Structure 1
Amino acid sequence: MTCTLILTRHAKSAWDTSAPSDHARPLNKRGRQSATALGLWLKQNGHVPDQVISSPSQRTRETYERMDLGAPAVFVERLYHANADIILQVLREAERPCTMILAHNPGIGSFAREIAKLAPDHPRFFNYPTGATSVVQFDIDSWSELDWNSGHLVDFIVPRELEAA
Structure 2
Amino acid sequence: MKTLILMRHAKSDWGDPRLPDSARPLNARGCRAATALGLWLRTQDLAPDQILCSSAVRTQETCTRLKLDTAPDLHDALYLAEADEMLTVLRRATGSLVLMLGHNPGIAEFAALLVAPPPDHERFDDYPTGATLIARFDIADWAALQPGSGTVLQFLTPRDLP
**TM-score, with structure 2 as normaliser:** 0.98
Going from structure 1 to structure 2, the CA distance change for 1:19 and 1:155 (only over 3 Å counts) comes to farther
Query: How do residues 67-106 of structure 1 correspond to structure 2 at under 5 angstroms?
Result: 67-106=66-105
**Unaligned stretches of 5+ in structure 2?**
none
Q: Which residue of 2 aligns with 1:121?
A: 120
The aligned amino acid for 2:143 is: S
CA distance in 1, matches of 2:112, 2:130: 16
Q: Which residue of 2 aligns with 1:4?
A: 3
Task: State the identity %.
Answer: 47
CA distance in 1, matches of 2:32, 2:104: 20
Contact 1:11 1:35 (C-alpha < 8 Å) held by counterparts: yes
CA distance in 1, matches of 2:44, 2:18: 35
Query: Is 1:137 equivalent to 2:136 in the alignment?
Result: yes
Contact 1:47 1:135 (C-alpha < 8 Å) held by counterparts: no
Secondary structure of the 1:137 match is strand
* Runs (4+) off by over 2 Å: 17-20
Contact 1:19 1:25 (C-alpha < 8 Å) held by counterparts: no
CA distance in 2, matches of 1:19, 1:68: 29
CA distance in 2, matches of 1:73, 1:19: 27
Secondary structure of the 2:31 match is helix
CA distance in 1, matches of 2:71, 2:135: 20
Q: How big is the shift at 1:17?
A: 2.2
Going from structure 1 to structure 2, the CA distance change for 1:13 and 1:138 (only over 3 Å counts) comes to same
Q: How big is the shift at 1:160?
A: 1.1
Q: How big is the shift at 1:18?
A: 5.5
1:31-61 deviations in whole A, cap 9, x for unaligned? 0000000000111112111010010000000
Q: Report how many aligned residue pairs link the two structures.
A: 162
1:82-129 deviations in whole A, cap 9, x for unaligned? 000000000000011110110000000000011001111110111000
